[in-house]
């Protein structure tokens, strides 16, 4: 090949000298012509190999079932590979063209060598990008932080590539370069602080399975409330439910507290935990006439009969004076209302009866007595969950008047005047 290159580039100078052109002019003229020839041949070789590689990969992609080769084409892998042959041609041609220019031969040789290293890194990156896209199409890898893994690998490769480039350009030995890097390690740590923190965080997030792509997370510090759509070395992207995007530093996932709703989505139900504030002054004992009227409420009619029979037996046994309702045991409107809500929830079809289901009374507050509903829905989808919860509370709020209870509300000016 060397003789072929000498034949291609070696005819100019002897011809110019044959025409009695001065040595200096002949040398620089032949140099310019050879550079033009090199540029033309490089372009032709590039176009030929690019057409050949793209065509071959396209034909192969159509005949194979796998999508990986299609992704290689979409990530322009063939385009970058087609640069390699022209670069090798330049790398071999430069010593012949610049044979009499030792300094420039060294400079251009190093530049071409550097570009070859960078090109190899770009080719590797496109292959990894294609691999990333391919793995994301697989259900078993769809929730894995593939971007983080690839970025870590590429970071290591780039560090190796930069080390080789420095060694190539400055003729620095490997042990000397390592010693120099050790001396400036503090500066390197300062410059690449976020990258190193992101790297450590990505490894911990992956090993501990803290976050996956597709997880619903809530991160109040960054205003994030939505699904994780991307996890990479430096950031985690969250698509909020209002279709905005929040970017969270990866290391914040291990340094700050956030909520991951994956456990809820993988469980058998989604929790409803909400309370009403009942006015304390509206809670009272019920007399026989009121109890008789409340027996018309089907969900608690049997309960009232059995409970009242038990209470009457207790009061008769202990000879309780019932002229005063406070004496002995009695039913209250609040207690019957709690029993009614419990029965209503037990008969509600969209709740998971195998999980906790209760209506409980919480610590009294200045605004009233909290009556909390604690149960789980079978359907965990956001809009269905909200509908079920609203439907339940629509009913129990409307039912409260039948028990002669009142919900606490701040008084308005109009109510004060009345």
How many whole angstroms separate alpha carbon 32 and alpha carbon 293? 110
Q: Residue-wise pLDDT tens for the chain (418 aa)? A: 545 655 555 556 556 556 666 656 666 666 677 777 777 877 887 788 777 777 777 777 677 777 777 777 777 777 777 777 787 777 777 766 666 666 566 777 777 778 888 888 888 888 888 888 888 777 777 666 677 677 777 877 887 787 777 777 777 665 666 666 666 666 666 666 666 677 777 777 777 778 888 889 999 899 999 999 888 777 889 999 889 999 998 888 888 889 998 888 888 899 999 999 999 999 999 988 889 999 999 999 999 999 989 988 998 888 888 778 888 888 999 999 999 999 999 999 999 999 999 999 999 999 999 999 999 999 988 889 999 999 999 999 999 999 999 999 877 655 545 5
Please choose, from the candidates 300, 299, 277, 298, the residue with its C-alpha nearest in 3D space to the C-alpha of residue 373. Answer: 277
How many whole angstroms separate alpha carbon 241 and alpha carbon 226? 5
> Which residues of 160-278 form beta strands (DSSP E)?
216-219, 224-231, 235-240, 245-249, 259-260, 270-278
CA dihedral 406, 409, 413, 414 (to 10 degrees): -40
Please choose, from the candidates 223, 192, 195, 210, the residue with its C-alpha nearest in 3D space to the C-alpha of residue 253. Answer: 210
- Give the neighbor-by-neighbor strand order of the sheet with 270-278: 270-278, 369-377, 358-361
Residue 372: how many CB atoms within 10 A of its CB?
14
* pLDDT value, residue 65: 72
How many whole angstroms separate alpha carbon 291 and alpha carbon 134? 69
DSSP state of 330: -
Residue 272: how many CB atoms within 10 A of its CB?
19
Q: Helix 146-170 to helix 102-136 angle, to the nearest 10 degrees?
A: 170
Please choose, from the candidates 299, 376, 309, 288, the residue with its C-alpha nearest in 3D space to the C-alpha of residue 339. Answer: 299
* pLDDT value, residue 6: 54
Contact 304, 291 (CB under 8 A): yes
* pLDDT value, residue 174: 59
């Amino acid at each position: 090949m060397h003789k072929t290159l000498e034949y291609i580039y070696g005819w100019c100078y002897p011809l110019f000298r044959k025409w009695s052109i001065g040595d200096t002019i002949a040398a620089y003229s032949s140099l310019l012509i050879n550079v033009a020839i090199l540029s033309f041949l490089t372009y032709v070789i590039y176009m030929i190999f690019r057409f050949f590689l793209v065509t071959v990969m396209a034909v192969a992609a159509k005949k194979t079932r796998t999508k990986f080769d299609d992704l290689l084409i979409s990530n322009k892998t063939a385009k970058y590979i087609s640069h390699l042959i022209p670069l090798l041609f330049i790398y071999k041609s430069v010593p012949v063209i610049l044979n009499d220019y030792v300094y420039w031969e060294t400079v251009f040789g190093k530049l071409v060598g550097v570009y070859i290293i960078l090109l190899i890194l770009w080719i590797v990156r496109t292959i990894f990008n294609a691999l990333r896209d391919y793995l994301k199409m697989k259900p078993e890898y769809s929730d894995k932080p593939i971007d983080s893994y690839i970025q870590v690998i590429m970071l290591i490769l780039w560090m190796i590539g930069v080390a080789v480039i420095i060694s190539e350009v400055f003729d620095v030995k490997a042990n000397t370069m390592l010693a120099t890097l050790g001396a400036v390690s503090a500066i390197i740590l300062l410059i690449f602080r976020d990258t190193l923190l992101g790297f450590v965080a990505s490894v911990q997030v992956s090993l501990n399975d803290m976050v996956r792509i597709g997880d619903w997370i809530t991160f109040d510090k960054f205003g994030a409330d939505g699904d994780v759509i991307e996890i990479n070395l430096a950031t985690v992207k969250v698509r909020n439910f209002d279709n905005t995007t929040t970017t969270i530093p990866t290391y914040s996932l291990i340094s700050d507290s956030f909520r991951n709703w994956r456990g809820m989505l993988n469980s058998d139900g989604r929790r409803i935990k909400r309370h009403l504030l009942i006015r304390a002054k509206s809670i009272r004992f019920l007399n026989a006439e009121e109890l008789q009227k409340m027996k018309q409420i089907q969900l608690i009619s049997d309960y009232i009969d059995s409970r009242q029979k038990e209470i009457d037996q207790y009061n008769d046994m202990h000879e309780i004076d019932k002229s005063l309702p406070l004496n002995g045991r009695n039913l209250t409107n609040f207690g019957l209302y709690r029993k009614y809500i419990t029965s209503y929830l037990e008969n509600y079809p969209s709740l998971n009866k195998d999980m906790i289901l209760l209506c409980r009374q919480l610590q009294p507050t200045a605004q009233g007595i909290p009556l909390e509903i604690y149960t789980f829905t079978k359907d965990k989808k956001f809009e269905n969950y909200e509908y079920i919860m609203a439907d339940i509370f629509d009913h129990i709020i409307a039912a409260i008047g039948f028990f002669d209870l009142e919900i606490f509300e701040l008084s308005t000016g109009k109510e004060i005047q009345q």
